[in-house]
Amino acid sequence: MAASDYSSSTLCGAPGECARGSDLGTDPMLALANGRAFFLARDNDLLFEVDTSCGRPLSRMSVASLGPTDPVSGVRRAANPHDAAAAPDETVVVPLYDAARIAFFKDGELEPHSIDLSPFDADGNPQADAVRVVVIDGAAKAFVTLERLDDNDLLRSKQTSQMLRIDVATRSVDGTFDLVGRNPFNPMSELAGALFMAMPGNFDADDEELAGIERFDTATSTSRLLVRERDLGGSVAEIAVTDGCGAAIVAGPQPDVNPTSVVTFDPESGEVLSTFQAPILGPTPGYDLQGLAWRGDRLYVGDRRRGGTGYAVHVLTRTDRCTLTRSGRTIDLPQRPVALRAADHSRLR
């Protein structure tokens, strides 16, 4: 579990086992892939590989040397690693949101070669956000989302977003695919060869035609907008998918408020099972629900509102195909939750 008040951050494993430190930065994210987990201190350009059973840091990696240089001051800025994914050969692939590059680590060392992404957007930065590594016909492929926002207009989504396919063995792009929705946001969720993406478009609208939940087939590199934003009643900020049931945190369009709800959908058919107006959890007064993870038939939802004993991670239990009920149990954190990744059954009972 990663938690932050955006002035400091906390990394928690099992309840009661939390660590703080200046290295953890103020803008954290978690990544889990192929049995390896990473805590990203984005503003510090650091990645920590962590023990999947307890969250204990195992190693420290830096991408600071790849940060872009400010053209006016000449000062090197943060590269801003946004996600990480491990390949079967232990290569770690890292999209750098502000450096417009894909970095690679092997055996904990940053490789000298990185992929320049500046040609993928006219303004020089396509905002590479999320990555997943999938083995296709025996070859490891890294799929990376490109938001392609307007750097000159408050990072608004105005053009087609894309998916890059990178051959991990050769460290090269071997495919670029237009997505249907716009602004792939937060980490992707993977299920049975498909990647599911939150596509909020712009958060100040809840009825955009090219927004919702997108499903990308990694075998065919084809994509479809599975659920539309207007049918959910809000902009999709985060998703978590398990067999037969998808959950999403959606936000309302009120600027600087963006109340949040947890909704559900069928990941195969796209049927909407609950909406922002009739949610599983919420609506909240503001952008309060953050962090979403499945473990078996339990869904964990982070809540940034302070309770009597801390900041809650709500535990919901699935019954039937996709019926979720409050279990009455919470996990309390010392700081506001940002991201959740469930990696070990024994630590979440």
Tokens linked to 268: 């195969």
What CATH number was assigned to the domain covering residues 66-178? Answer: 2.120.10.30
Q: What are phi and psi of 43, to 5 degrees?
A: -70, -20
| Cα end-to-end span (Å), the chain | 15
- What are the boundaries of each domain within the chain? 66-178
Reading the chain (349 residues) residue by residue, the pLDDT tens digits are 999 999 999 999 866 689 888 899 999 999 998 889 999 999 999 999 999 888 888 999 999 999 999 888 889 999 999 999 999 999 999 999 999 999 999 999 999 999 999 999 999 999 999 999 999 999 999 999 999 998 888 788 889 999 999 999 999 999 999 999 999 999 999 999 999 999 999 999 999 999 999 999 999 999 999 999 999 999 999 999 999 999 999 999 998 899 999 999 999 999 999 999 999 999 999 999 999 999 999 999 999 999 988 999 999 999 999 999 998 889 999 999 999 998 754 333 2
What pLDDT is recorded for position 16? 61
Assign 267 to helix, strand or coil: coil
Assign 23 to helix, strand or coil: helix
Q: Are 1 and 333 in contact (CB under 8 A)?
A: yes
What pLDDT is recorded for position 71? 83
Tokens 């959910």: give the residue: 232
Distance from C-alpha of 325 to C-alpha of 303, rounded to nearest angstrom: 16
Distance from C-alpha of 16 to C-alpha of 331, rounded to nearest angstrom: 9
Distance from C-alpha of 261 to C-alpha of 108, rounded to nearest angstrom: 39
Tokens linked to 67: 């940060």
Comparing CA positions, the residue from 59, 62, 56 lying closest to residue 48 is: 59
What pLDDT is recorded for position 63? 98
